[in-house]
Amino acid sequence: MYRFFAVLVFGAVLVGMSGCSSMPKVSRTDASEQIDVSGEWNDTDSQLVSAEMIGDVLARPWIGEFSAKKNEKPRVIVGAVLNKSHEHINTETFVADLEREVTNSGKVKFVASKEQRNEIRDERMDQAQNASMKTAKNMGQEYGADFMLKGQINTIMDEAGKVSLKYYQVELELIDMETNEKVWIGQKKIKKVVKRAKSKF
């Protein structure tokens, strides 16, 4: 009898635990699918803005003027993109999207970032000590960038009750590394209206 009640209680506990499970429900979706959960800056914004702004900068006269003068493609590096918005925005993913668009365009040559260059230089120094002379890569053979792309993300927020307006303004500039001349200034604006559902009691 005691064993019967023990089994019964154990089964009830298991049923209760399964009903109160705190495990999240997870489903896989296509990475390109547009999904807005909170209304804040997300991967879709990053990809759309980077694609549009890189498309704009590569369509401007500076690239043709440089190629005509130097008889080669310009070398571009992506510098800092500052987050001056009200939100936590991972600008590294935005910079990565910019780098991908620049590189895949085939219209310019892309120079590795400062962090990547330092890592590669360390590797070359290691090669100088440990690799054979035939395979070790020489120091001082890097290509310097001709232009740097940098910018910032700003926001303006407005909210009343359950409705909020989020206005994002992304500004990018392309600067000549030799003369500090700004050869291109781009701006992309995104306006979002977020309506939150009423609380249910």
Model confidence over 28-50: pLDDT tens digits? 777 777 777 777 888 888 888 88
pTM exceeds 0.85: no
Q: Quick check: 175 pLDDT over 80?
A: yes
pLDDT of 18 > 60? The answer is no
Strands (E), 107-146: 109-110
Residue 22: predicted pLDDT: 72
Distance CA(79)–CA(114), nearest Å, equals 8
Quick check: helix, strand or coil at residue 73? coil
Dig out the tokens for 67 from the structure: 């190629």
More confidently predicted of 87 and 125 = 125
Identify the band that residue 127 occupies on the pLDDT scale cut at 50, 70 and 90: very high
Q: What's residue 152's pLDDT?
A: 94
The pLDDT of residue 162: 85
Position 187 scores a pLDDT of: 94
Q: 35-49, 115-129, 163-177: lowest mean pLDDT where?
A: 35-49
- Mean of per-residue pLDDT scores for the chain: 85
Per DSSP, helices labelled H in 22-87 are 43-57, 61-70
The owner of tokens 């001349």 is 181
20-24, 112-116, 164-168: lowest mean pLDDT where? 20-24
- Percent of the chain surpassing pLDDT 70: 87
Write down the pLDDT at residue 147. 96
Mean pLDDT confidence for 67-71: 94
Predicted confidence at residue 2, as pLDDT, reads: 57
Q: What is the distance between the alpha carbons of residues 122 and 86, in angstroms, rounded to a whole number?
A: 38
Which residues is 190 bridged to in the sheet? 168
pLDDT attached to residue 71: 95
pLDDT at residue 95 is higher than 60: yes
- How high is the pLDDT of residue 21? 60
Residue 11: predicted pLDDT: 59
